[in-house]
Structure 1
Amino acid sequence: MTTGVRRRMGVEERRQQLIGVALELFGHRSPDEVSIDEIAAAAGISRPLVYHYFPGKQSLYEAALRRAADELAARFAEPRQGPLGARLLRVMGRFFDFVEEHGPGFEALMRGGPAVGSSTTHAMIDEVRQAAYVQILAHLGVTDPPARLELVVRSWVSLAESTALIWLDGRRIPRAELESQLVHDFAALAAVSAAYDDEMAGLLLRILSDEPVDGPFGDLAGRLGALLARVPAVPAQPVR
């Protein structure tokens, strides 16, 4: 962050500096708690100069959210090489990197913050969710998803978002475990859907055929197997 240093910048360079400063401040505290005076001081400029580039805190807040939304959406991009489970685990690692780096800002983006009711903010949130959805479909090699697959992917994207928001409140579960659990959640959602639909079953079998035993999905199978082994056997009922 730039502090106490004044220098001449072009219009766009100054705008980008202010957005970066605001995003950093919003990343550590709720945007409601950050004043224009603080943003000006952190940028090394006067309060009136901030208003020269942005009409008010709301417009600066939305510009900062725009940058955060673009960065968050980019975290779901991943080369489509190797097993799906490992790819999703890397995506979750980058996703939680963002969540940790920009905790209050992430909450503000997903919950609306001071821009509640703003169509601009809602549109940005929808863009992030849609970008994540499109990226996951690309990982699956599907361009025209059937209804059940769309339900699985969109449900999983929402689950990752809500899980991160809950995790930020106390961080009571180790982050690495949560990342693995979310990858396992994707497999579980797909497996339940596959039990109802032959097309989903075919997709799931194709995914699993490329998964190594020591990968995330193999780890889930081992955990479920160990859990089932602990279930007491039900005595056979006598034939009458």
Structure 2
Amino acid sequence: MTTGVRRRMGVEERKQQLIGVALELFSHRSPDDVSIDEIAAAAGISRPLVYHYFPGKQSLYEAALRRAADDLAGRFVEPPQGPLGARLLRVMGRFFDFVEDHGPGFAALMRGGPAVGSSTANAMIDEVRQAAYEQILAHLDVTEPSARLELVVRSWVSLAESTALLWLDGRRVPRAELELQLVHDFAALAAVSAAYDTGMAEVLVRILADEPADGPFGELVGRLLALAPPSRLPDQRSS
């Protein structure tokens, strides 16, 4: 007969366990509402032992945030094959997977949770935004973006973030529709900028050249044409 003995964790293993437990709790409730006692109980250890590994909830929150930030940044990584519209749609699917899995924690992070005012936490949030920006540029195969292209991409990353926060508040719009709408938003932002800048126009033409008619961008064109059929468009010949 054998007797089960609880295996003793090493320092790093225990820290990673606590980070995982904290991240799980922060994913379902605002970090402000989660106590060290709850984290200790979920990890099966005492409150003093939590403080042995982390000096306070702030440091544990930032460690959990680091893991979450790395995970979220990775959601924007996508192989550079195939039409851009389909790639962005897959990216948005993974992005909303994260938002849905970590709803309260994601909202607290972006709106200001216990780490508000923390330079470390703010830097990690900025890292995620920068990683998303760089990944989109990689999808566009651009290494030195123009001022207008940078504005388009950064505006779109910000739009995705704010859209996710609004969606979490009631989820009144189907998630799949929002994912597709955000892909359409990217095309719309690029198209408006292209109307003002020849460099952006070249980028847009290159993007659309690889897009199939039944892809996300082709669907957007179809939706817009349905709203304003040719018979209702202004006759440019009279101008």
Same-fold call, TM > 0.5?
yes
1:69–1:109 Cα contact (<8 Å) kept? no
| 3-state SS of paired residue (1:171) | coil
- Mapped partners of 2:231, 2:98: distance in 1: 39
Amino acid at match of 2:87: R
Q: Does 2:193 correspond to 1:206?
A: no
Amino acid at match of 1:200: M
Cα offset for 1:196?
Answer: 0.3
> Residue 184 of structure 1 aligns with which residue?
184
Q: Single out whichever of 93-102 and 221-230 deviates more from structure 2.
A: 221-230
> Residue 131 of structure 2 aligns with which residue?
131
> Residue 59 of structure 2 aligns with which residue?
59
- Mapped partners of 1:219, 1:158: distance in 2: 23
Cα offset for 1:229?
Answer: 2.4
- Mapped partners of 1:231, 1:182: distance in 2: 29
Amino acid at match of 1:162: S
Give the root-mean-square deviation of aligned CA atoms.
1.7
Within-5 A mapping of 1:1-80 = 7-80=7-80
Cα offset for 1:232?
Answer: 5.4
- Mapped partners of 2:124, 2:207: distance in 1: 31
> Residue 100 of structure 1 aligns with which residue?
100
Amino acid at match of 1:91: V
Q: Single out whichever of 106-115 and 35-44 deviates more from structure 2.
A: 106-115
1:99–1:164 Cα contact (<8 Å) kept? yes
- Mapped partners of 2:19, 2:153: distance in 1: 32
Cα offset for 1:6?
Answer: 5.6
Cα offset for 1:100?
Answer: 0.2
Cα offset for 1:37?
Answer: 0.5
Within-5 A mapping of 1:166-177 = 166-177=166-177
- Mapped partners of 2:87, 2:51: distance in 1: 44
Q: Does 2:158 correspond to 1:144?
A: no
> Residue 116 of structure 1 aligns with which residue?
116
Report the TM-score when normalising by structure 2: 0.94
In structure 2, the CA distance between the partners of 1:16 and 1:197, relative to structure 1 (3 Å rule), is same
Runs of 4+ more than 3 Å apart = 230-235
1:160–1:182 Cα contact (<8 Å) kept? yes
Cα offset for 1:207?
Answer: 0.4
1:133–1:153 Cα contact (<8 Å) kept? yes
- Mapped partners of 1:109, 1:118: distance in 2: 11
Cα offset for 1:110?
Answer: 1.5
Amino acid at match of 1:111: R
Question: What does the per-residue CA deviation read over 1:96-145, in whole Å, with 9 as the maximum and x for residues that have no partner?
Answer: 00000000111122222011111011101100000000000000000000
| 3-state SS of paired residue (2:45) | coil
> Residue 161 of structure 2 aligns with which residue?
161
| 3-state SS of paired residue (1:113) | coil
Report the TM-score when normalising by structure 1: 0.93
Identity %: 84
Amino acid at match of 1:208: L
In structure 2, the CA distance between the partners of 1:11 and 1:65, relative to structure 1 (3 Å rule), is same
Structure 2: segments with no counterpart, 5+ residues: none
1:28–1:103 Cα contact (<8 Å) kept? yes
Question: What does the per-residue CA deviation read over 1:46-68, in whole Å, with 9 as the maximum and x for residues that have no partner?
Answer: 11000000000110011101111
Q: Does 2:93 correspond to 1:89?
A: no
